[in-house]
Every structure is written in C-alpha cells, then in structure tokens.
Amino acid sequence: MGQIQTQMPLNLVIVGEGPEQEALKLEVSRLGLEKRVYFEGRVQDDQDLVSYYRRCEFLVLPSITHAEAFGVVLLEAMRQGKPLITTQLKSGVSEVNPDGVTGFQVRPADSNELARAILRLTTNKQLCAELGEAAKKRFDNQYSLPKMVEAHLSLYQSVLTGS
C-alpha cells in the first residue's frame, strides 16, 4: 500500500514525554516537518492541559500495545467535546471510544488507516463536531465524577450484599 498524500497543511502537537520521543524528533527532522510537528513535553499545570484540549480539533492516541489499558487522556478530551482516534486494542481504550460513535478506531501500527481517519475528521468539520458532541455526551453520561461515584457505590453495595 502506498502512502496517503495530502496537500492540506496539518499540524501535530505532541504533549507528554515517552521513550520514543527522541526517535520521533529525529524522524520529524529527517522528513523536514519541524514547522508542522511540535513537541510540547510534559504539561504540569492542569489549566495548560485543558487549554491544549480546547484548542485541538481531535485527539489521537495511536497505541500499539495493550500497555495502554484505559487512557485517561481520552476522558479528558471527551470532557472538552473532542472526537477521538484510537487503536483497536483489547483494553479499555476500545470501550471508551466506540468506533463511529465518539470517534474512530484503527488497526494498531496501520499508518495508512490512521491517516485516513485523521483526514476524515480534518476534511469533514460537521462529522468532527457531531463526534465531539457525542464524546461530550458519553463523558457526561458514563465517566463524569458523579456517574463514576454512583457506579462505584453500586458495585460496593452489590459486593457487600452479595447480589
């Protein structure tokens, strides 16, 4: 399969740090993408983090291993009404982001499929807005603090009563 080409100017902001950061920086440099890819590093302040979510169009979490068990970052983006692009992992990530409901799931390590999902959200603002709205609604209905407290209390009650 060939690479997907686009003339659309896209920017990528990578927030956080990890073991692949230096390799990614080298690849960005090799490809001449220094003016399109920004490495922001670790964000310490919650207000700054929220600001990143508010300014982004969508969040991409392209994990390739099951080490990404849940992805709190997904909930943080959903809370701000952002659609998600995640990988199809047998973990909580797929539960948080049902494909076609709050965003898209792609096969792990499939860069062409990932590119198609990114282009789909970038070129269809209405779809992006609809998925973002659904993400916010899903967050409010399932993952907000009151809903999580309610679910945990219900679980504890059922364990204590044996029902």
Q: Does the pLDDT value for residue 1 go beyond 60?
A: no
Q: Strand ranges (DSSP E) for 4-137?
A: 12-15, 37-41, 59-61, 84-87, 103-106
Q: What is the pLDDT of residue 2?
A: 59
Task: Over range 128-146, report the average pLDDT.
Answer: 97
Q: Does the pLDDT value for residue 7 go beyond 70?
A: no
3-class DSSP assignment, residue 52: helix
Task: Over range 33-44, report the average pLDDT.
Answer: 95
* Ordered structural domains, the chain, with CATH: 43-161 (3.40.50.2000)
Here the tokens at position 153 are 């209390």
Q: What is the pTM of this model?
A: 0.87
The DSSP output letter for 90 is S
59-107 residue pLDDT tens: 999 998 877 778 899 999 999 999 999 999 989 999 999 999 999 999 9
